[in-house]
Amino acid sequence: MTVLPIIVAPDPILKTRSEKVEKITPEILQLMNDMLDTMYAARGVGLSAVQVGVLKRVITIDIEQDERGKAGKPIKMINPEIISSSAEINIYNEGCLSFPGQYADVERPAAVTIRYLDEQGKTQTIHADELMATCVQHEIDHMDGIVFVDHISRIKRDMILRRLKKANK
């Protein structure tokens, strides 16, 4: 079990676009395992590789873990992409491991269909709604250099960033 350090905003790496994984290597597989360990230790439901300082298009998600952070149904995605999204919008009070203790209501499509590679390099397609849809969109945003506060008003975003800077001093 390896718990990696989580990058905290306003670190500029969080605004950097991640690179596509060209080949699934033992290092990528180990990264995904370490990301799950890190996510569980931090009590998160999703984590993008950029949040641990790796600019690769890799995410881990587990929205079914128990209240103690024990694994439920972990999903590891390589090069995930949204191939369709609903017109219906959902508002969810999002938080982020890279913005500890900060939350804001974010509007996103209520349902999405995602295509990705699994650990064996096989193409998978899943339909996600509710918390899973929010989580996967949040993590895909991370890989594009977009953080959840980019979806809220400038005033709210500035307040959150000021609180983080103050907490980091």
Angle at the Cα of 91 from the Cα atoms of 110 and 98, rounded to 5 degrees: 100
Does residue 139 have an active-site annotation?
Answer: yes
> Phi then psi for 154, rounded to 5 degrees?
-60, -40
Tokens describing residue 27: 């290092």
CA 6 to chain centre: 12
Catalytic hit among 22, 27, 130, 139: 139
> Phi then psi for 109, rounded to 5 degrees?
-55, 140
Q: What are the catalytic residues?
A: 139
